[in-house]
Structure 1
Amino acid sequence: MTVFNAQSTADEVLAGCDLAGQTILITGGASGLGQETARAMAARGARVVLAARDEGKLAAAADAIRAEIPGAEVETLVVDLASLASVRAAGEEAASRFPVIDVLINNAGVMACPQGTTADGFETQFGTNHLGHFLLTKYLLPSVEAGSAKRIVNLSSRAHHRAGVDFSDLDFTQRPYDKWEAYGQSKTANILFTRALQQRLAPRGIDVFAVHPGGIATNLGRHLTQDDLKELVARMQDATAAGASAFKTIPQGAATTAWAATAPELAGKGGVYCEDCHIAAQDDADPHGGVRSYAYDDEAAERLWTVSEELVGESFRP
């Protein structure tokens, strides 16, 4: 039973951890939750690898961590998850530079952006949030298998409540584009990917977790309009009135990721969706918490796996 909750911070979760000797790679590590997760883990002795698309922002984030934590071992990796060519190049580079990765944290993402496509023609949110991480994980899996912690954490969101995966129209070419539905679809995909990957990796002692970090003000919300922000605030107020967690600070938002990546009580319990530092209950009604049953549909998870292999043009057979 976890002693942590919605108000816990990453530093509090990691207070008793010794991460010396571990290598932890975090996508979206140049800012926000990714940078905070890396900072907290570096403070416990981990070698952290920050992965993101902007080399300048990566360098600044790495310098900030080193300035706060003298002696911190921080490395960077340039990857644009919206380009399969970039993912392949980064995957090959990372496999060479980091033959051992103890924990892989697929943290990066885009949210509620205007309609658009990735470099390969996929709807931006599905292509970036799911397909980019699907392919990157394939390239990094041998390094994870060589590690000691053997964990993969996929950042999802409570926004998966908004939509399942529409296999008949993944790219919104046959239906009107809705930025929140598209985001919800990509976040459900993150959970389904977690389920399918866990089924394949459990026999090797690797655990895979999906995480909802909470509602946090980071640059993930850079595409939001004033009306969007007002709606989010109203939702958070409703959640608070119902006894659920409200907006979190960035250190609080990084806590569930840190917990899923390190908690010894989670060993052998992968394939689940976590929120507020606990394993969420399956729930199709509660608007303020829980994981929807369609996100735990293992037939859908296998279908997504097959479709994802087809879309990236590579077989991912761990």
Structure 2
Amino acid sequence: MLENVGLATRDQNVYRTLLLHPRWKIDDIQQHLGLPEEEVRTALDRLASLSLLRPSTDVNSFVTTNPEIELKPVFERMEAELDEQRAKLFRDRAMAAALAADYTALRLQTGAQGLERIEGLDNVRIRLQELARSATSEVRAFMPGGALSPGALEAARPLDENTLARGVRMQTIHLDSVRNDHPTVEYATWFTARGGQTRTVPSLPMRLILCDRSIAVIPVNREASQEGAFVIHLSSVVAALSDLFDLVWDRATPLGDVPVLHCDGPSDRDLTILKMLEDGFTDEGIARKLGISIRTVRRLMADLLRRLNAQSRFQAGAEAVRLGWL
């Protein structure tokens, strides 16, 4: 049915009648369908407004057009609106999942069963190596914080190579900012050649490691990884974090691809920066979250102000709301 584009069943019946009897006039259609003249005229007006009918050189006659062609712009506009709704839903779901993870982490500090608390970075690294070596099906990770050092990448290479060689699927999500870091891109190329998968997004909610959909590792304090980590075995919590990973993964861009630019609207990074401003983040906080320099944040903000024709950040936020970006 075509009610979503403004065509009722009566309108479609009038259209089909004209397809079968192109020389019929209003009186003929009215008698054939048993409709009042006013309803027939209303249907003809509606069909004409969608360019499905055009006036004929023969007075009071009409020429039908191809609905697939004429309705294409209408469907494209509706699809764009649906895509926008899906994007908003994704952001809301991801935010809710991140808040749920924060809530869970705080609640689990009381020492619930199914939880390990690992103190110190060295102990965390050792535990992560143990989990990677024991994984049988998959290891997936959020890697916020920008590019890793060449030393850290080289240290990870033997473990990743061994894990992939055992047939374990590995998926890693970095920040978009690593695309400008040659060692990280080089490592991702090596990683992909051996069966691993790497994608990037503008921002990540936390550092996260998932093993076999049965174990999750998150930091005790997502702003200070040196405080240690929680190793979670609780199935409901791990399932929620797995769902969060799936949401982000589906929206992420493979590292070998170029992120899509939104010529007529905000990019994902634009929306991320605007949302952080709305939440009260400073330039330093935004830089840390996105893994970029403060100078880059200020350049991006200047570009946003220019595109929004705003004189201040407050005005930019108001204009973004007016345009439906937030």
TM exceeding 0.5 = no
Larger relative contact order (Cα-Cα within 8 Å, sequence gap ≥ 6):
1
Task: Give TM-score scaled by structure 1 length.
Answer: 0.28
Q: Which protein has the bigger helix share?
A: 2
Task: Give TM-score scaled by structure 2 length.
Answer: 0.27
